[in-house]
Chain A
Amino acid sequence: MNLFAATGLAVASAWAVYGVGAALILAGAAAVVGLRNPVHCALGLVSTIFGTALLFIDQGAYFLAAVQVIVYAGAIVILFLFVIMLLGVDKKEPRSAGTFASLGPVAAGLGIVAVVELLVLARVHYWATGAKSTTAALSGPGADVQKLGQSIFTGYLLPFEMTSALLVIAVVAAVALVRRGSGAPPQAPPKKAPATLRPPAKAPEAPAPGRAGAEPAGEKTRVAG
Chain B
Amino acid sequence: MSVPGDWYLVLAAVLFGIGAAGLVVRRNILVMYMCIELMLNAVNLTFVTFSRMLDDLGGQDAVFFVLVVAAAEVVVGLGIIVAIYRRRAGATADDVNSLKG
Chain A contacts to B: CB under 8 angstroms: 7, 10-11, 14-15, 17-18, 22, 25-26, 29-30, 32-33, 38, 41-42, 44-45, 48-49, 52, 55-56, 58-61, 63-64, 67-68, 71-72, 75-76, 79-80, 83-84, 86-87, 89, 93, 96-98, 100, 107, 111, 114-115, 118-119, 122-123, 127-128, 130-133, 136-139, 147-148, 151-152, 155-156, 159, 163, 166-167, 169-171, 173-174, 177-178, 204, 206-208, 211-216, 219
Contact = CB atoms under 8 A, between A and B. Distances in A.
Nearest to A166: B72
Nearest to B85: A87
Given A15-B3, A61-B60, A64-B60, A26 B15 contact: yes
Interface in B17-34: 17-19, 21-22, 24-28, 30-31, 33-34
A132 B51 CA distance: 10
Q: In the A-B complex, list the 5 residue pairs whose CB atoms are closest, starting with the nearest.
A: A208-B90, A133-B56, A33-B22, A122-B6, A214-B89
Interface of B: 1-11, 13-15, 17-19, 21-22, 24-28, 30-31, 33-35, 37-38, 41, 44-45, 48-58, 60-61, 63-65, 67-76, 78-83, 85-92, 94-95
Contacts of A107: 21
